[in-house]
Chains A and B, each alone.
Chain A
Amino acid sequence: MASNSQSAGSTPGSDSTIAIKVSFELNTPDGLRRVQFGLEKDFTGTDIIWKIHFQLWERSVRTATYVDPIVSLDVQVNPQLNQRAQQATSGLTPAQTAHATGPAADAAKAAKQGELPVEVANDQIQGTLQQN
């Protein structure tokens, strides 16, 4: 399509990445909670924006099927944590996975139920990246 609209004299150039998304799916060993921790790196012109896509599923028994996520949150990463986000694409540390499946998931759930301010929940979710 685009090649048909190529103007006379123009030459095709190289590709340009506009986004890379790495999704870490964390299943607790007891099989009752699943957290999907997605790290997305967007290239908007010369700006680089990192986003966390956080989703939580729960079930009462291992044999049940996970249906829809009970929480689904998108958080734009504080630019001060960009380096941490970059490092996390190579895998989450034990402290980060513990935080994502525990405090971050609990906070996201509580915020959805109105039991915790959303900014506190977002802080907890971003806090995943701050863990060592």
Chain B
Amino acid sequence: MERLLFRRWSGLPLSLIAAASLCAQTPNQPIVAVEGCGQGINFETGHYQIGTATITDPFDFLYWIRGKASTTQTQLAALLNNKPFTYQLAISDAISLIEQQRFLPDNAVGFRASVIFAAATNCHQNPNTLDLKYQIYSTVPPKILSATPESQVQARQSPQDTAGLTQGGSAFHFTPAGGYNAAERWYGGGNLQVTKRIAAFPLFDTLSAEGRGSSTMREINLALAGSAEPLGPIEHMDWRLNYLQADNPADTSELRRTLLSGQYSAATRPFAGGNLTARFGASIEGGNLHSNFPTAQLAVNTVPGAEYGALRFYGGLASRLSHNVFSASYGLELGSIGPAQQIDWRKHIVDVVDDFWIPLRPHYQLDVDARFTAGKIQVPGSIPATERFFGGNQETFFVPGDSWQIRASPYIRAIPANRFQFTSQGAGAQSFASANLTIAAPVKAWPLVPTVVEREAGPLLDGQITSATSVLQNHYAMSSPGFQQVLQLLEPLQNALTALRTALTSVQADVPAPTFTNCNNKLLGANFNLTMARRKMAAPKRDDTLYGSALAPLSDIPQVVTACVDQLIPQGATAPGFQQIRDSVAQADRLRGQMKQLSDAIQPAAAARAADETRFVRRTINTLLRDMNVLSIGPVAVFDVAHIGPTGPGIDGMRYGPGGGLRLSIASMVTFTSGYAWNINRQPGEGPGAVFFEIGIRDLFH
């Protein structure tokens, strides 16, 4: 950790210099060489000797980034250490060597940003020596789902995933987990994931095996998952086959589930000014649900156990503003324990999440996580007890997987898992509502990207998103009907240039050779682009590069005008060849004017659409740079209100649970949250409160 912190701060002087250098656009100013590394010293003509070269990356807490940095450091040492300084060596050769290491995973699509700073440091004279420092800032932010609360949790707990850097490491991921609650006792387990797409088995790219166990419970979850990012209105879709076997305590009984499920979900491209994205999905499942509640403890429409089948449909909206992530989801479950066409129960879930954070100062923010969840079960037939609502301090979700978590039971941290369940009908609630508030603020935080560095590297990384937005804008502009009219101008434009070439040949002997060559080269370039555009236009499948080729005349023709008319035609020349040049260039320029009008007309809609699509990504990257910490520690305050029903005489369904604790988070390594919540309105048989204790250790293979 000490090394980590040292690295954070060692970047500051370099960044300050980079700030002055890159942003000020320093003109060529004479600088007097002084002791130290003053800007403007020519280290090569000053015969400086290189001492050592070092390389840093803010994500070098990751196993695979650290490995690459270490390898590169060794290679840089061999290349540079104790060698006479030359700019070729220190810039071209060294940066080339760094880039060969590919600090970014090669995901082939999406956004990639990379910034390298190289600086001389520790400069001394007599003898003239210096050290070299190289700093890398790189990111491949996933474009999908960055509007959701799940992505915000990911950014907070695992910034390397948000930066798109996880996928560059090992295909194997193992994340140990552990914790304590009064119902489940001390538990341990972990999640093993293998992320590799096999050519012969392209439908799935992730295999995961997750388990938790203690003296009172066990859970095993096996899943095969796949995903895709199509080009249409659906931005992302994923699917999953899931096997679950679970045995959880519920007061004096146990809830046992064995089931197999298949699910599909999708997210749309952002809409409503880029501020909303919609998600929807469905799943089918079947298996066994059992409990050992005596029938007398259950409602009349409830059975202790049964084989079952269920269909689930779910949908929702999500949004991300600069300091706020919001989502609302609705889920409907249709279940049956009889013939498949019979609906024995209908379960409705509404889950609303609003997480916002108020910056107190850079990298110190007040995090407020608010969540409201409600559910209701209608039972025209019979329902297994396990399907009713059992609440407490363990979250359960409507569908498996991490990408979309719809909470499906009353959550109250003051009551141990599954013990908030007794109603006037017996065990398991038929309706519930819970509201949860968590407020946290670090008292000490070490930023992932130091503030000064963020100020300088941030705009450069943001530039990559600007570039990616530009690529999208071109794609949408090319798809618009107006672009077809642009294509119709290509042939007449090329005809005009052919006429120009003929005229130019006729005057070749009358103009100086360099002037002729310059015009000829401009004409050659313009004609080449038109030829390529027409070739791409005629191809059975048009590729995206047609757009740039087709619009190349917008910049090519003015250059032809300058080179072939302004610079080539002598003043007062009246020979027929020169007049032909003037005429054909004028014709080309007229056509270019029409092309410009058409192009300008299709840009606004395409620009708006592209900006909408990248708005969430930009906000996510800003959060990563400005708010995320590599290490933080601070207090947590919680307040829960939950109600279950039906209630009756002597059965109060309302509980309140204020509490507090401590949260320690080390990005990529561990999150430790511990505290105590009081059960204010405790009922007979319930404890005064509950300890919550969770330790989440990060992926050990990174």
Q: In the complex where A99-B552, A103-B548 touch, is A10 in contact with B459 (Cβ < 8 A)?
A: no
In the complex the two chains form, is B528's CB within 8 Å of A120's CB?
Answer: yes
In the complex the two chains form, is B551's CB within 8 Å of A95's CB?
Answer: yes
Bound complex: CA of A40 vs CA of B35, how far in Å?
A: 27
- Interface-located stretch among B125-133, B374-382, B631-639, B641-649: B125-133
Is B162 interfacial (CB 8 A cutoff)?
no
Is B1 interfacial (CB 8 A cutoff)?
no
Chain A proximity of B53: nearest CB distance (Å): 10
Is A45 interfacial (CB 8 A cutoff)?
yes
Per-residue interface assignment for chain A, residues 22 to 54, with 1 indicating a CB less than 8 Å from any chain B CB and 0 otherwise = 111111111111100000111111111000000
Chain B proximity of A9: nearest CB distance (Å): 9
Most chain B beta-carbon neighbours within 10 Å: one of A23, A47, A100: A23
Most chain A beta-carbon neighbours within 10 Å: one of B20, B37, B127, B459: B37
Bound complex: CA of A24 vs CA of B465, how far in Å?
A: 9
Per-residue interface assignment for chain A, residues 72 to 105, with 1 indicating a CB less than 8 Å from any chain B CB and 0 otherwise = 0000000000110010011111111111111101
Is A113 interfacial (CB 8 A cutoff)?
no
In the complex the two chains form, is A21's CB within 8 Å of B129's CB?
Answer: no
Is B652 interfacial (CB 8 A cutoff)?
no
Is A13 interfacial (CB 8 A cutoff)?
yes
Cβ of A30: which chain B residues have Cβ within 8 Å of it? 231, 543-544
Closest to A105 in B: B545
Q: In the complex where A1-B131, A5-B127, A18-B91 touch, is A117 in contact with B524 (Cβ < 8 A)?
A: yes
Is B470 interfacial (CB 8 A cutoff)?
yes
Is B72 interfacial (CB 8 A cutoff)?
no
Bound complex: CA of A14 vs CA of B123, how far in Å?
A: 8
Closest to B532 in A: A106
In the complex the two chains form, is B470's CB within 8 Å of A17's CB?
Answer: no
In the complex the two chains form, is B474's CB within 8 Å of A97's CB?
Answer: yes
Interface residues of B in 141-170 (CB under 8 A from A): none
Bound complex: CA of A65 vs CA of B545, how far in Å?
A: 19
- Chain B interface category by residue count: 35 or more
Decide if the interface of chain A is mainly helix, strand, loop or mixed: mixed
| Residue in B43, B459, B467, B555 whose CB lies within 8 Å of A97 | B467
In the complex the two chains form, is B465's CB within 8 Å of A13's CB?
Answer: no
Is B603 interfacial (CB 8 A cutoff)?
yes
In the complex the two chains form, is B463's CB within 8 Å of A66's CB?
Answer: no
Closest to B522 in A: A123
Cβ of A28: which chain B residues have Cβ within 8 Å of it? 471, 475, 543-545
Interface residues of B in 115-142 (CB under 8 A from A): 115-127, 129-133
Closest to B459 in A: A90
| Residue in B463, B472, B475, B547 whose CB lies within 8 Å of A22 | B463
In the complex the two chains form, is B528's CB within 8 Å of A102's CB?
Answer: no
Bound complex: CA of A69 vs CA of B330, how far in Å?
A: 48
In the complex the two chains form, is A22's CB within 8 Å of B114's CB?
Answer: yes
In the complex the two chains form, is A91's CB within 8 Å of B466's CB?
Answer: yes
Cβ of A44: which chain B residues have Cβ within 8 Å of it? 42, 44, 87
Chain A proximity of B460: nearest CB distance (Å): 5
Is A70 interfacial (CB 8 A cutoff)?
no
In the complex the two chains form, is B37's CB within 8 Å of A14's CB?
Answer: yes
Interface residues of B in 229-280 (CB under 8 A from A): 231
- Interface-located stretch among B105-113, B407-415, B443-451: B105-113
In the complex the two chains form, is A2's CB within 8 Å of B464's CB?
Answer: no
Interface residues of B in 433-472 (CB under 8 A from A): 459-460, 462-472
Is B341 interfacial (CB 8 A cutoff)?
no
Cβ of A5: which chain B residues have Cβ within 8 Å of it? 49, 51, 124, 127, 129
| Residue in A21, A24, A106 whose CB lies within 8 Å of B529 | A106
In the complex the two chains form, is B130's CB within 8 Å of A2's CB?
Answer: yes
In the complex the two chains form, is A99's CB within 8 Å of B119's CB?
Answer: no
Cβ of A29: which chain B residues have Cβ within 8 Å of it? 231, 471-472, 475, 544
In the complex the two chains form, is B120's CB within 8 Å of A83's CB?
Answer: no
In the complex the two chains form, is A25's CB within 8 Å of B112's CB?
Answer: yes
Is B31 interfacial (CB 8 A cutoff)?
yes
Chain A proximity of B461: nearest CB distance (Å): 9
| Residue in B122, B465, B524 whose CB lies within 8 Å of A116 | B524
Cβ of A119: which chain B residues have Cβ within 8 Å of it? 521
| Residue in A7, A103, A107 whose CB lies within 8 Å of B124 | A7
Closest to B229 in A: A31
Bound complex: CA of A63 vs CA of B352, how far in Å?
A: 38
In the complex the two chains form, is B544's CB within 8 Å of A101's CB?
Answer: yes
| Residue in B95, B130, B465, B554 whose CB lies within 8 Å of A40 | B95
Q: In the complex where A1-B131, A103-B552 touch, is A120 in contact with B472 (Cβ < 8 A)?
A: no
Interface residues of B in 520-535 (CB under 8 A from A): 521-522, 524-525, 528-529, 532
In the complex the two chains form, is A98's CB within 8 Å of B548's CB?
Answer: yes
Cβ of B13: which chain A residues have Cβ within 8 Å of it? 14-15
Q: In the complex where A1-B82, A2-B122, A28-B544 touch, is A22 in contact with B532 (Cβ < 8 A)?
A: no
Q: In the complex where A10-B126, A92-B466, A117-B524 touch, is A46 in contact with B31 (Cβ < 8 A)?
A: yes
Cβ of A27: which chain B residues have Cβ within 8 Å of it? 108-110, 112, 471
Cβ of A20: which chain B residues have Cβ within 8 Å of it? 18, 21-22, 115-118
Per-residue interface assignment for chain B, residues 90 to 106, with 1 indicating a CB less than 8 Å from any chain A CB and 0 otherwise = 11000100010000001
In the complex the two chains form, is B106's CB within 8 Å of A66's CB?
Answer: yes
Most chain B beta-carbon neighbours within 10 Å: one of A4, A33, A92: A92
In the complex the two chains form, is A94's CB within 8 Å of B603's CB?
Answer: yes
Bound complex: CA of A25 vs CA of B103, how far in Å?
A: 14
Is B25 interfacial (CB 8 A cutoff)?
yes
Q: Which residue numbers of A lie inside 8 Å of B, CB to CB?
A: 1-7, 10-34, 40-48, 62-63, 65-66, 82-83, 86, 89-103, 105-107, 110, 116-117, 119-120, 123-124, 127, 130-131
Q: Which residue numbers of B lie inside 8 Å of A, CB to CB?
A: 13-14, 16-18, 20-22, 25-31, 34-45, 49, 51-52, 81-82, 87, 90-91, 95, 99, 106, 108-127, 129-133, 202, 231, 459-460, 462-475, 477, 521-522, 524-525, 528-529, 532, 543-549, 551-552, 554-555, 603, 606-607
Can you list 11 pairs linking A and B with CB atoms under 8 Å apart? A1-B52, A5-B124, A19-B90, A23-B112, A25-B113, A25-B464, A42-B91, A46-B30, A91-B464, A102-B529, A102-B552
The 10 closest A-B pairs by CB, nearest first: A13-B36, A102-B548, A91-B466, A45-B42, A2-B51, A1-B51, A98-B548, A91-B463, A16-B37, A28-B544
Contacts A5-B51, A17-B117 aside, 16 further interface pairs with beta carbons under 8 A come to A2-B131, A15-B121, A16-B120, A18-B118, A18-B132, A19-B117, A27-B110, A45-B44, A65-B106, A97-B471, A97-B474, A101-B471, A105-B545, A107-B529, A110-B528, A123-B525
